[in-house]
């Protein structure tokens, strides 16, 4: 096994480095186990790359070489002692939404510009326990509100495939970091598409698990009933390894589900060499996902990917998710409502930004929050405050929760006809920076195909499906895979089969 995986490269030869940065987590693990490279060397290499690339791409908000290298050294110790797990010694970037003890944790906001985490999020604990190296905190839309990573207080992130374009959001920093190979893998969070849409726009794999599989403890809340953390990596195989670390019951989160631990890699191998590995898999295509609003160039790439699934043995069935259009209005009631309340704790009393000048308590609140939050966050707080305010609750919040059920029922019906659903992740490829920054409604439509999945609490992922030519540039296109509750393994298995016969997930942008 190790023999087959151990790639041929010499340290510190630059070509060898290029092989290393594009290696899978399994390959990296084998290199570490085979002493071809140490975790400290691996970490140093990524830190060097970050130092070179990050000033332009801006994928990281915080890097702390000392901390990362200390973890790497500890990992090398574990490896030497034969106590390494699958991710031991592997540098993973953490979205800056996860509170990490001793690490600055900003959530992309001026409000938390100087907030040093006083405790560890569940996710951070799990990666630490796995012996992974925290490589740094990645940039994101402020409080995860955005689809372009332009709302970050720490500046916009550039798409490594075309630096005039956005990486998507809100996990844009993690997406850019994986795409530019500034980490081996990263974490993201997804409230309405924030893992999948940037994965699609940056040409990588991203998975939002079933709501409740990954603990939200220590993950700074945006919309509690929709937020879910997941992996962002190069391939389905990498994501399966990440899922093994990230998922699991946490008694500190009341919405964390008590289920038996799953090994998401258990069946991957069966999907590698078989002739028709997807035989018997029913793939549903929702007609609403291929209707008006979808870029033709994206549709074409997605269609090719579907054909590939067919060739692998999948049976294609037509389905309908009739309430798809309503997912946007429902989301833009529920998410801002929850957010308006979740963000009330940022009042300048116990931590975070406090205005320098104020007359009295009321003035301190109002100035602190006006200064600490950016325009998009304020907009959503105002929308949320409005829809919950006296006299409007029934017409907005309650109504949205009722339609949310209709949307979930659409999926329940669909999954009686199929095992997984395929479609586009986003309606277009990466758009230009600034293009939609002043038009919230246009920005919100980016998430038309992803939001319903969060509303239903289902797992959804985006995997690289090819490229579309836009203005003479090749831009990545993602294929969205939606599964039934707890069907992550099935989604990853099928994706893995697809990634055996395609190499979209292995392509790297130029000039990285």
Partner 1 sequence: MSLNTADVKRIAHLARIEISESEAESTLHKLSGILGLIEQMQAVDTTGITPMSHSQDVTQRLRDDVVTKTNQREEFQKIAPAVENGLYLVPKVIE
Partner 2 sequence: MDWEVVIGLETHAQLQTRSKIFSGASTTYGAEPNTQACEVSIALPGVLPVLNKEAVNCAIRFGLAVDAEIAPVSVFARKNYFYPDLPKGYQISQYELPVVGKGALTIQVGDTEKTIRITRAHLEEDAGKSVHGAAEGMSGIDLNRAGTPLLEIVTEPDMRSAAEAVAYARKLHELVQWIGICDGNMQEGSFRCDVNVSVRPKGSEKLGTRREIKNLNSFKFMQQAIEYETRWQIETLEDGGKIEQATVLFNPDTGETRAMRSKEEANDYRYFPDPDLLPLAISEADKAAVKATMPELPQAMQERFVSEYMLSAYDASTLTSSRAIAAYFEATVAAFGGEAKLAANWVMGSVAAKLNEEDKDISASPVPAVQLAGLLKRIADNTISNKIAREVFDAMWAGEGEADAIIESRGLKQVTDSGAIEAIIDEVLAANAAMVEEYRAGKEKAFNALVGQCMKASRGKANPAQVNELLKKKLS
Q: Which residues inside 234-263 make contact with partner 1, applying CB under 8 A?
A: 251, 254-255, 257-258
CA dist 125 → 48, 183, 218, 275 (Å): 26, 19, 10, 41
Inter-residue contact 205 to 233 (CB < 8 Å): yes
Task: List, in sequence order, every residue forming a beta bridge with 474; answer none if it has no partner.
Answer: 469
Inter-residue contact 134 to 94 (CB < 8 Å): yes
Number of chain positions touching partner 2 (CB under 8 A): 42
DSSP state of 427: S
Between 13 and 393, whose beta carbon lies closer to partner 1? 393
Between 46 and 346, whose beta carbon lies closer to partner 2? 346
**Rounded to an integer, what distance in angstroms lies between the CA atom of residue 20 and that of residue 7?**
8
For residue 251, state whether it binds partner 2 (rule: CB under 8 A). Answer: yes
Which of the listed partners (partner 2, partner 1, none) does 402 bind, with a CB threshold of 5 to 8 Å by partner kind?
partner 1
Between 230 and 466, whose beta carbon lies closer to partner 1? 230
Give the residue among 280, 218, 281, 270 at the shortest CA–CA distance from 246. 218
Q: Which of 103, 127, 153, 396 binds partner 1 (CB under 8 A)?
A: 396
Q: Where in the sequence numbering do the catalytic residues fall?
A: 95, 170, 194
Residues 3-22 that bind partner 2 (CB under 8 A): none
Number of chain positions touching partner 1 (CB under 8 A): 71
Which of the listed partners (partner 2, partner 1, none) does 393 bind, with a CB threshold of 5 to 8 Å by partner kind?
partner 2
Q: Which of 347, 419, 447, 487 binds partner 1 (CB under 8 A)?
A: 347
Residues 356-395 that bind partner 2 (CB under 8 A): 361, 365, 385, 388-390, 393
For residue 333, state whether it binds partner 1 (rule: CB under 8 A). Answer: yes
Sheet order of strands, 315-319 included: 60-62, 133-138, 91-95, 185-190, 228-233, 205-208, 460-470, 473-483, 420-424, 282-286, 315-319
- Distant-in-sequence, close-in-space partners of 264: CB < 8 Å, separation ≥ 6: 239, 240, 241, 243, 244, 247, 488, 489, 492
Residues 117-156 that bind partner 2 (CB under 8 A): 118-119, 121
Inter-residue contact 429 to 472 (CB < 8 Å): no
Q: Which of 379, 432, 473, 490 binds partner 1 (CB under 8 A)?
A: 379
**Rounded to an integer, what distance in angstroms lies between the CA atom of residue 15 and that of residue 27?**
16
Contact flags string 209-238 toward partner 2, x per CB under 8 A: -------xxxxxx-xxx-------------
**Rounded to an integer, what distance in angstroms lies between the CA atom of residue 59 and that of residue 94?**
11
Q: At closest approach, how far in Å is the CB of 253 from partner 2? A: 5
Q: Which among 42-50, 157-165, 335-343, 413-421 is the span making contact with partner 2, rule CB under 8 A?
A: 335-343
Inter-residue contact 185 to 46 (CB < 8 Å): no
- Helices and strands per DSSP (H, E), number in the chain: 17, 11
Between 89 and 457, whose beta carbon lies closer to partner 2? 457
Between 127 and 504, whose beta carbon lies closer to partner 2? 127
Between 394 and 503, whose beta carbon lies closer to partner 1? 394
Between 275 and 360, whose beta carbon lies closer to partner 1? 360
For residue 337, state whether it binds partner 2 (rule: CB under 8 A). Answer: yes
Which of the listed partners (partner 2, partner 1, none) does 259 bind, with a CB threshold of 5 to 8 Å by partner kind?
none
Q: At closest approach, how far in Å is the CB of 145 from partner 2? A: 15
**Rounded to an integer, what distance in angstroms lies between the CA atom of residue 344 and that of residue 327?**
26
For residue 107, state whether it binds partner 2 (rule: CB under 8 A). Answer: yes
Give the residue among 218, 217, 213, 219 at the shortest CA–CA distance from 194. 219
Q: Is the peptide bond before 392 cis (omega within 30 degrees of 0)?
A: no
Which residue in the block uniquely carries the two structure tokens 């790359």? 49
Task: Please report, as ranges, the residues that interact with partner 2 according to CB under 8 A.
Answer: 98-99, 105, 107, 112, 115, 118-119, 121, 216-221, 223-225, 251-255, 337-338, 340-341, 343-345, 347, 349-351, 361, 365, 385, 388-390, 393, 397
């Amino acid at each position: 096994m190790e023999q087959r995986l151990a790639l041929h490269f010499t340290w510190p030869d630059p070509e060898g480095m290029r092989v290393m940065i594009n290696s899978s987590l399994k390959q990296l693990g084998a290199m570490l186990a085979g002493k071809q490279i140490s975790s400290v060397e691996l970490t140093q290499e990524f830190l060097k790359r970050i130092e070179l690339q990050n000033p332009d791409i801006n994928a990281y908000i915080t890097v702390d070489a000392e901390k990362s290298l200390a973890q790497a050294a500890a990992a090398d110790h574990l490896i030497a002692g034969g106590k390494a797990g699958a991710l031991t010694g592997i540098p993973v970037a953490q979205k800056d939404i996860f509170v990490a003890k001793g690490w600055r944790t900003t959530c992309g906001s001026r409000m938390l510009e100087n907030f040093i985490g006083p405790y560890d999020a569940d996710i951070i604990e799990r990666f630490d326990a796995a012996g992974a190296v925290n490589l740094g905190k990645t940039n994101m839309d402020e409080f995860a509100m955005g689809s372009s990573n332009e709302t970050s207080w720490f500046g916009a992130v550039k798409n490594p495939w075309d630096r005039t374009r956005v990486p998507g959001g809100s996990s844009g920093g993690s997406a850019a970091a994986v795409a530019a190979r500034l980490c081996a893998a990263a974490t993201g969070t997804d409230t309405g598409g924030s893992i999948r849409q940037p994965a699609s726009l940056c040409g990588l794999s991203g998975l939002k698990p079933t709501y409740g599989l990954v603990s939200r403890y220590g993950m700074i809340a945006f919309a509690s009933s929709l937020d879910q953390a997941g992996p962002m990596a190069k391939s389905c195989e990498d994501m399966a390894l990440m899922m093994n670390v990230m998922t699991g019951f946490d008694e500190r989160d009341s919405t964390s589900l008590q289920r038996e631990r799953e090994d998401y890699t258990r069946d991957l191998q069966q999907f590698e060499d078989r002739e028709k590995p997807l035989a018997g898999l029913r793939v549903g295509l929702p007609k609403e996902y291929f209707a008006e609003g979808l870029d033709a160039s994206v549709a074409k790439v997605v269609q090719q990917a579907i054909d590939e699934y067919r060739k692998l043995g999948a049976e294609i069935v037509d389905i309908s998710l009739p309430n798809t259009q309503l997912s946007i209005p429902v989301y833009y009631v529920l998410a801002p409502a929850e957010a308006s309340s979740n963000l009330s704790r940022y009042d300048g009393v116990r931590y975070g930004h406090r205005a320098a000048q104020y007359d009295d308590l009321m003035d301190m609140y109002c100035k602190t929050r006006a200064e600490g939050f950016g325009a998009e966050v304020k907009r959503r707080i105002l929308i949320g405050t409005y829809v919950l305010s006296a006299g409007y609750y029934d017409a907005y919040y309650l109504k949205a929760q009722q339609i949310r059920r209709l949307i979930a029922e659409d999926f329940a019906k669909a999954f009686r006809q199929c095992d997984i659903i395929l479609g586009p992740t986003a309606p277009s490829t990466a758009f230009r920076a600034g293009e939609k920054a002043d038009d919230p409604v246009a920005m919100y439509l980016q998430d038309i195909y992803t939001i319903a999945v969060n509303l239903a609490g289902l797992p959804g992922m985006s995997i690289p499906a090819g490229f579309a030519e836009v203005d003479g540039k090749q831009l990545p296109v993602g294929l969205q895979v939606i599964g039934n509750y707890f069907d992550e393994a099935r989604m990853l298995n099928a994706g893995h089969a697809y990634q055996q016969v395609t190499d979209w997930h292995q392509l790297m942008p130029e000039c990285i």
